[in-house]
Amino acid sequence: MGQLSETVRSSQPSIPSLDAERVSLIEQAGLTVKQLEPLGVEVYGADVRAGLPKPVIEALEVEMANRGFIVFKQQTDLAAEELVEVSKWWGAHEIHSTHGVHPATPGRNRHIFRCSNDSRHGILGVGPQWHNDGSFEAATFSHSAYYMARAPEQGGGTHFAHQGAAFDALPKEKQAFWERLVSVNSASSVTHPVVHTHPVSGRKSVWLHLGMTGAVIERLPEDGVTIDELKQQPASVDQFRLLTESEMKTLFNDYNDLMNASFERGYGIRYHYDTGDLLYIDNWAVAHRAAPEAHMPAEQQGLRIMDRVTIKSKQDLAPHFGLPQYININGPHPFNKDGVWQAGGVGFLWKDDIRLQN
């Protein structure tokens, strides 16, 4: 298995501070911004129902790309329709919903994914492992909203890890290896790069779903050819291979170690909600998971009700090396040598003692 000392190098990952010009623009609208450490931004003084000037929205979207997430504080009693409309500020300005509707969802609004630690109020057990929302889509959601309609008395927040800073934390040899990898979703057959360049921040960022990946393809290296050159060159089938079971276990454990190390290494945060928090993530910039306490029964933790809304991306998270956006994982693989090629369910089981549900 990948050991933490081997996965994370000693240099300090970097997350940019709030930009002074954008802060000034936001403050001119009567808002106050608070930089969280090491990532994230809290916004005070907004009533999202009343809207915000377009330049302020654009400035906040860039800050999300750089710092991972923003939180509008004190947005109590948002109606489902209001939450959906406000969420159209970001990305392609459309909602991208792929989920079922819990009976307790306000108005049975199809764009609200209601989560809870009480089955009478929402879906149980969502997101226990590190992931990005919508990994089964070609155009994975650009942003997601998490509205804490009711925060539990004993806590139960969300963990966030900055995936650009996580890439920076990798040793050089693992950076080079991971940049040559493409994952295949076990449910939808969609392919995504394990390292992509964020369309707003321009940062190389890691990306791997720990719960629904059925295969990982490596583009084999070539002497004298840089990774950027490889990405631009279509390749023949014999220039790819599938990772083996042992290599998959190493990769997944290394990725999990990298995300877990974010708290001590300065690129992760355990965020605790207040009732009325409206938190937006840049889903291409940060991975997240529910804190373990979030899944504790309401009798122990207090009732937790969170509404999620997912926003359409302007573009696909497309693979490199001329690979197609979909490779049918339900059929035979097209590569010359065997490796892991597993369809359905939660994909490749890289660890026996954790619950894979996202």
pTM of the model: 0.93
Confidence band, pLDDT 50/70/90 cuts, at residue 7? low
pLDDT in tens, 133-153: 999 999 999 999 999 999 998
Is the pLDDT score of 10 beyond 50?
no
Looking at per-residue confidence, does 11 or 348 come out higher?
A: 348
Is the pLDDT score of 9 beyond 60?
no
Is the pLDDT score of 329 beyond 50?
yes
Mean pLDDT score, 189-218: 96
Is the pLDDT score of 195 beyond 90?
yes
Domains in the chain, start-ordered, CATH in brackets? 16-358 (3.60.130.10)
Mean pLDDT score, 326-349: 91
Q: What residue has token string 């109020």?
A: 121
User: Given this model, what pLDDT does residue 64 score?
Assistant: 98
Is the pLDDT score of 3 beyond 70?
no
Mean pLDDT score, 49-67: 97
User: Given this model, what pLDDT does residue 61 score?
Assistant: 98
Mean pLDDT score, 15-28: 97
Is the pLDDT score of 74 beyond 90?
yes
User: Given this model, what pLDDT does residue 65 score?
Assistant: 98
pLDDT in tens, 248-259: 999 999 999 999
Is the pLDDT score of 124 beyond 90?
no
Mean pLDDT score, 243-249: 96
User: Given this model, what pLDDT does residue 165 score?
Assistant: 98
Terminal-to-terminal C-alpha distance of the chain: 23
CB atoms within 10 A of CB 1: 14
pLDDT in tens, 83-118: 999 999 999 999 999 888 999 899 899 999 999 998
Looking at per-residue confidence, does 281 or 10 come out higher?
A: 281
Confidence band, pLDDT 50/70/90 cuts, at residue 354? low
User: Given this model, what pLDDT does residue 2 score?
Assistant: 43
User: Given this model, what pLDDT does residue 355 score?
Assistant: 59
Looking at per-residue confidence, does 63 or 353 come out higher?
A: 63
Is the pLDDT score of 343 beyond 80?
yes
Mean pLDDT score, 230-240: 89
In the structure encoding, which two tokens stand for residue 272, read together? 């605790």
User: Given this model, what pLDDT does residue 4 score?
Assistant: 47
- Strands of the sheet containing 181-185, edge to edge, are 191-193, 181-185, 213-219, 240-242
In whole angstroms, give the CA distance from residue 40 to residue 68. Answer: 6
User: Given this model, what pLDDT does residue 18 score?
Assistant: 97
How far, in Å, are 53, 72, 124, 327, 334 from residue 347 at the CA level? 43, 36, 21, 15, 19
Which H or E element spans position 305?
A: strand 305-311
In whole angstroms, give the CA distance from residue 203 to residue 199. Answer: 8
Query: Chain-wide mean pLDDT for the chain?
Result: 92
Strands, E, within 52-180: which ranges?
69-72, 113-116, 143-150, 158-162
Is the pLDDT score of 155 beyond 90?
no
